[in-house]
């Protein structure tokens, strides 16, 4: 499209898209062709080859002329078993993003509000706006933990239909304690969504708090730990009434048979996946130790598969110098509340070493007077 094209021009409909959507900025993470890509929080390891073989051979038995199981019963039961719950408390979708979108379509929308606590995962507000939901913004503390008293006051004042908490929080890595989630549940008049896309890397999960009596839903994904970002599978665990309500909103047959099957078969490889999580947690701890030895950079504690760092000034320049050395991390240096910050995903041992070597070279350049 050029600047002169618009409603009423040849080939362009008279009715333009919604004004509130035109005002939105697209959400994307820039990709560059460099040898070490530590910018999108994916797993650096492909799934186990035996998983791929088992999945593909199971796929041969699938009648491709038929729609997939609309309620993904096999997958829900397998996830329920793994999560220590029942299948009627599990809802699955194409990535946890679609889980979040379905929550907004069901409980948000025009005339409704969602509270988020910034800085946090930008897609929460983005999906809110796309679904017409007003966004109410609370501030995290300086150390990026939730300020519970301020959050409770905001919730009391604005009565949001949805409260979103990302824990571990993307991009800061902050893990909220159980008491923080309980405190929000005590005051929230609507649904409390805990986005645990990185939950496997943390030391506790809000899944244990899910019950019929609490409007709590916990979203999870196969994209990180299960090394299945390409397959797009996420799920949430919530009360039965909530899962039933989501099922009524999501499009019929939204979850393709290969995705359902992959999610079910993957759970047979739990010990391999647990070993990967441990390797990434060890890699994260080593990164934190090594980064903390460097002069001129603050390192934030993380319960995820990434670490947020803040050089003492010139964050964007540091990002460029890392790219020059073949290492791509995520540049948050110009984001509100994240001045100078960069986020590095934990990679393989070799990738982490290359990142650290690049940091040791580049950091003095940005911290020099």
Q: Which residues bind ligand PMP (CB under 6 A)?
A: 41, 95-97, 121, 166, 170, 195, 197, 221, 223, 229, 234
Q: Which is nearer to ligand PMP, 303 or 356 (CB)?
A: 303
Contact in structure between 168 and 140 (CB atoms under 8 Å): no
Contact in structure between 114 and 124 (CB atoms under 8 Å): yes
Terminal-residue alpha carbon distance, the chain = 45
Q: DSSP assignment, residue 217?
A: E
For the CB of residue 40, give the shortest distance to ligand PMP in the complex, in Å. 7
Q: Which is nearer to ligand PMP, 180 or 366 (CB)?
A: 180
> Is the Cα torsion angle 134, 138, 143, 147 positive or negative in sign?
negative
Q: Which is nearer to ligand PMP, 97 or 321 (CB)?
A: 97
C-alpha 113, offset from chain centre: 21
Peptide bond into 168 cis (omega under 30): yes
Kindly report the number of other CB atoms within 10 A of residue 214's CB atom.
17
For the CB of residue 116, give the shortest distance to ligand PMP in the complex, in Å. 11
Name the residue number minimizing CB distance to ligand PMP: 95
Q: Which is nearer to ligand PMP, 85 or 167 (CB)?
A: 167
For the CB of residue 297, give the shortest distance to ligand PMP in the complex, in Å. 23
Q: Which is nearer to ligand PMP, 97 or 366 (CB)?
A: 97
For the CB of residue 219, give the shortest distance to ligand PMP in the complex, in Å. 7
84: region left, alpha or beta (phi > 0 left; psi from -120 to 50 alpha): left
For the CB of residue 304, give the shortest distance to ligand PMP in the complex, in Å. 9
């Amino acid at each position: 499209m050029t600047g002169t094209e618009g409603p009423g021009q040849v080939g362009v409909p008279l009715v333009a898209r919604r004004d509130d959507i035109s005002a939105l900025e697209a959400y994307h993470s820039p990709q560059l062709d460099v040898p070490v890509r530590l910018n999108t929080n994916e797993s650096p390891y492909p799934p186990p080859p035996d998983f791929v073989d088992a999945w593909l051979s199971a796929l041969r038995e699938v009648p491709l002329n038929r729609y997939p199981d609309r309620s993904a019963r096999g997958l829900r039961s397998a996830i329920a078993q793994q999560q220590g719950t029942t299948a009627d408390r599990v809802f699955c979708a194409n990535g946890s993003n679609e889980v979040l979108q379905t929550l907004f379509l069901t409980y948000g929308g025009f005339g409704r509000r969602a509270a988020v606590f910034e800085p946090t995962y930008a897609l929460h507000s983005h999906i809110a706006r796309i679904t017409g939901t007003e966004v109410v913004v609370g501030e995290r503390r300086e150390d990026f933990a939730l300020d519970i008293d301020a959050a409770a006051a905001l919730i009391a004042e604005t009565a949001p239909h949805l409260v979103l908490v990302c824990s571990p929080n993307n991009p800061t890595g902050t893990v909220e304690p159980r008491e923080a989630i309980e405190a929000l549940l005590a005051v929230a008049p609507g649904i409390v969504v805990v986005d645990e896309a990185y939950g496997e890397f943390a030391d506790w999960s809000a899944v244990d708090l899910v019950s019929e009596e609490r409007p709590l839903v916990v979203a999870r994904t196969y994209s990180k730990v299960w090394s299945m970002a390409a397959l797009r599978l996420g799920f949430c665990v919530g009360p039965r009434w909530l899962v039933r309500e989501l099922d009524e909103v999501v499009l019929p047959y939204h979850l393709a048979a290969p995705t359902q099957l992959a999610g079910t078969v993957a759970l047979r490889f739990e010990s391999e996946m647990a070993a990967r999580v441990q390797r990434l947690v060890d890699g994260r701890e080593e990164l934190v130790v090594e980064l903390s030895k460097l002069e001129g950079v603050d390192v934030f504690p993380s319960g995820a598969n990434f670490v947020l760092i803040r050089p003492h000034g010139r964050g964007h320049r540091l990002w460029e110098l890392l790219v020059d050395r073949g290492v791509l991390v995520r540049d948050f240096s110009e984001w509100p509340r994240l001045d100078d910050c960069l986020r590095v995903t934990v990679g393989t041992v070799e990738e982490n070493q290359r990142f650290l070597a690049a940091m040791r070279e580049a950091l003095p350049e940005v911290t020099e007077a």
